[in-house]
Structure 1
Amino acid sequence: MKLFIVAVCLIAAAMAAPSSPDETAARRALPALQHEEIHDEYGQYALRYVTAEGTVVSERGRLIPTPDGKYVLVTEGETSFIGDDGKTYVTKYSAGLDGTRVEAAHLPFNVQAK
């Protein structure tokens, strides 16, 4: 789980690199273009939002039974953003029974931890 948090922080830091400080600040001040969020009484959820600067985040958390009869929340998601070079960068991640995984073509490595 720590690796998952570190990976999300790295993604956030990469998305924060401004091309023009004034332009980026103006776009970030705008409300999200789309924002959907669904929760149930068990803690499962799904969310998706799109920002004015082109960032798209979607994530879901669902309960999966473990072999000992308990439940664990499995998280899966995807984040995409447009870089300063005009390319779209996509990062997919999951965390659950099989450990943590982060996949992204723009990273020098893909992460799998158990």
Structure 2
Amino acid sequence: MPTPLDETKLERAILALLADRRELYPSQIIGALRRHDAGLPLHHARAVLERLIAERRVARLWHRYLLPRDVEEVRATWLAMIDRQAARLDADLATTGAADEARALLTGWDGWQLGR
């Protein structure tokens, strides 16, 4: 069981990492944290991330984590990608309007929930 100090160090390390890199998968976070400080209680990273999300200090888009300040930029990036790939998305998913549904979902994303 990590001490509150250990969790605080882990929290600070996660926030610092996200401040430097805008959008990260959990495995990227763990790998970077392991390289930064092998003594961090990385087995508690998920719990710390979930707490940071509940406190709205970290946002999430699918399986990527980011800081709330980056929500608008990440949304714009993903919407542009959907626009570029709209025809392929509709064809690959065999669903007319799949790209429109994805756009609507992202447009309603607030950093913590999709489609609100």
TM-score bucket (shorter structure): under 0.3
Greater fraction strand: 1
The higher-RCO structure (CA 8 Å, 6+ apart) is 2
Per the normalisation by structure 1, the TM-score is: 0.24
Per the normalisation by structure 2, the TM-score is: 0.23
